Amino acid sequence: MVSTLPPDGRAGIDAALVRRLIAAQFPRWSGLTVTPVEVDGWDNRTYRLGDDMTVRLPTAAGYVPAVDKENDWLPRLAPSLPVAVPPVLAKGEPGEGYPYPWSVRGWLAGETAARGHIDDMAQFAVSVAEFVRALQRCDTAGGPAAGEHSWYRGASPAHYDAETRRCLAALRGRVDTDRAATVWEAALAAAWDGPPVWFHGDIASGNLLVEGGKLTAVIDFGTSGVGDPACDLVIAWGLFEAASREAFRRAVDQSAATWARARGWALWKALLVLSECIDTDEEKAAANRRVIDAVLADHDHFGASSAQGRAPLRPPSTP
């Protein structure tokens, strides 16, 4: 009998559930071990199945559209991309008390892209930019237009305007909200008028795998779709700094207006997280303050050219 998960969907998913689902729907794999992955995500719970596979289960209804989207599109995108993406092996159905479809994927080796795992960050930044550009060149025919399924990545950051303004009000006196509001207004004004392209939607360290310090795979295409690629530039402030940020900027080769919208995306998320953790998690708060400071400095240096083609390439003095 299918039931709903508790409010925190993660709490209703464990290795025992995965073993029951595999035994019921894919008995040929029922003898394989099921173990949680070392680094898990929020939208999905992921378990390793034997040595060569993973099982991926959405934690809430809002993440369910990603199952069919990834199953349909990852095999089509993979041949055009410079690094590996998750191989799709099977789709599971609701059952055993779990209410959503789920997927079985091939295992991709590697570590997440923490700074300590990368020897040459500037070269790594170029590799990420090359992936972004290759994804943008993929055929968009029939691709899913940005919207609810992508959590509005690929659409205008204006979707989060009310939320951003609430965060600015809540953080007044604790961050430079006047400068932040200027950056946000610039993002909203830098309208996207280019052709729709494929975007990943969450190019972040946890979704980039490295081996030997080099990019080898990109995972979690749950927020992917076809639309505005500005959201894929956010890593410029989340992982890169100084020389690596400049290397990424040059290699990804996007318009100044696209960078303005990207600053908006980065600012929205950092303000949101900071507003939630500023008094409870010092480490997380500090990390998001760094992103905000970097975005504001970037706007101070590049913002004047946001309506004039390509941004100047000399980096700001503040990383």
Residue 267, pLDDT above cutoff 90: yes
Q: Are 80 and 10 in contact (CB under 8 A)?
A: no
What's the CA gap between 253 and 251, in Å, rounded? 5
Q: Are 245 and 211 in contact (CB under 8 A)?
A: no
Task: Give Cα separations from 121 to 111, 170, 218 (angstroms).
Answer: 15, 35, 17
Residue 310: strand pairing partners: 255
Residue 317, pLDDT above cutoff 60: no
Count CA within 13 A, CB hemisphere, residue 252: 33
Chain Cα centroid distance, residue 31? 33
Q: What is the pLDDT of residue 310?
A: 43
Q: Write down the architecture of domain 9-106 according to CATH.
A: 2-Layer Sandwich (3.30)
Residue 1, pLDDT above cutoff 60: no
Q: What is the pLDDT of residue 313?
A: 39
Residue 319, pLDDT above cutoff 60: no
Q: How confident is the model at residue 303 (pLDDT cuts 50, 70, 90)?
A: confident
Which segments of the chain are extended strands (E)?
A: 34-36, 44-49, 53-58, 88-92, 102-106, 111-112, 197-199, 208-211, 214-218, 225-227
Weakest mean pLDDT among 15-29, 108-122, 226-240, 259-273: 108-122
Q: What is the pLDDT of residue 7?
A: 46
List, in order, residues 6 or more apart from 231 with CB less than 8 Å away: 153, 154, 199, 201, 262, 265
Q: Are 119 and 215 in contact (CB under 8 A)?
A: no
Q: What is the pLDDT of residue 315?
A: 43
What's the CA gap between 35 and 64, in Å, rounded? 22
Mean pLDDT (whole number) for 94-107: 96
List, in order, residues 6 or more apart from 285 with CB less than 8 Å away: 274, 277, 278
pLDDT in tens, 10-29: 558 999 999 999 999 999 99
CATH superfamily of 111-305: Aminoglycoside phosphotransferase (APH), C-terminal lobe (3.90.1200.10)
Q: What is the pLDDT of residue 312?
A: 40
Domain ranges of the chain: 9-106, 111-305
Maximal C-alpha separation, the chain: 61
Residue 314, pLDDT above cutoff 50: no
Q: How confident is the model at residue 39 (pLDDT cuts 50, 70, 90)?
A: confident
The per-residue DSSP string of 254-305 comes to -BHHHHHHHHHHHHHHHHHHHHHHTTT-HHHHHHHHHHHHHHHHHHHHHGGG
pLDDT, the chain, mean: 92
Q: How confident is the model at residue 305 (pLDDT cuts 50, 70, 90)?
A: low
Q: What is the pLDDT of residue 187?
A: 98
Q: Are 289 and 206 in contact (CB under 8 A)?
A: no
Structure tokens at 71: 């199953």
What's the CA gap between 192 and 158, in Å, rounded? 12
What's the CA gap between 35 and 16, in Å, rounded? 10
Residue 106, pLDDT above cutoff 50: yes
Q: Of all helices (H) and strands (E), which one includes residue 248?
A: helix 243-252
